[in-house]
Chains A and B, each alone.
Chain A
């Protein structure tokens, strides 16, 4: 059974840093696209970042140069390193498995999310 479990969300001050983790089971993170999607309170879904199965990294403009996606294949875990955090980064962060479909990817499994609050 595929499972994704996020952790690491917390209250952090503006300008601070945080690392989110996503523990995967039932499949290998190294063989799939893996991504992060966030949802600000009361708002819709916003794509944040993805790593391809080949290790190519992509970022939304809003987080490029501040966030870094990575994975530990041995631990079967995905990470999101966040720095220079801003109030507008406050959101629930979801980890999701991407499924490649000829031209792009959709997300076929999602975690339950972890809350990041940026506030002084």
Chain B
């Protein structure tokens, strides 16, 4: 099975900061990677798919990049609504998928 590793596990930042989260796959997944945001007590929300395609309605301050085994999620200017936990998920398989362990973005 493909393993997904996110870093850091926790990130402390302030409003307006540029934030970058990394996700590494244990083997190449081409660009078949999605990013989700989960606010406390809520279901996850899709932000990005195919590594860099922004889901409809997601603010343009979110962006994704990468291919193969290394991917990043960037928030260009952190807003109050962005304090949440972020997960990557590979989908280089028609059956099983795997999530990263999550990155919590908290207020500094």
Q: Spell out A's residues near B (CB within 8 Å).
A: 37, 44-47, 50, 52, 58, 60, 94, 96, 99, 101-113
Contacts and interface: CB of A to CB of B under 8 A. Distances in A.
Interface stretch (B19-27, B72-80, B95-103): B95-103
Contacts of B43: 94, 96, 110-113
A111 B99 CA distance: 17
Contacts of A58: 95-96
Contacts, number: 74
A46 B99 contact: yes
Interface in B36-67: 36, 38, 42-46, 49-50, 55
Given A44-B87, A94-B43, A110-B44, A104 B93 contact: yes
B44 A106 contact: no
A47 B97 contact: yes
Grouping DSSP codes into helix (H, G, I), strand (E, B) and loop, the B interface class, with mixed when no group exceeds half, is: loop
Contacts of A102: 32
A45 B98 CA distance: 9
Contact of B99 (A47, A108, A109, A112): A47
Interface of B: 30, 32, 34, 36, 38, 42-46, 49-50, 55, 87, 89-102
Nearest to A110: B43
Contacts of A47: 96-99
Contacts of B38: 45
Contacts of A94: 43-44
Nearest to B9: A44
B91 A112 contact: no
24 contacts: A37-B44, A44-B87, A45-B38, A45-B87, A45-B99, A45-B102, A47-B98, A52-B94, A60-B96, A94-B43, A96-B43, A96-B44, A99-B49, A101-B32, A101-B50, A103-B91, A104-B32, A104-B90, A104-B91, A106-B49, A106-B97, A108-B46, A111-B43, A112-B42
Contacts of B30: 103
Nearest to B103: A44
Contact of B94 (A96, A104, A108): A104
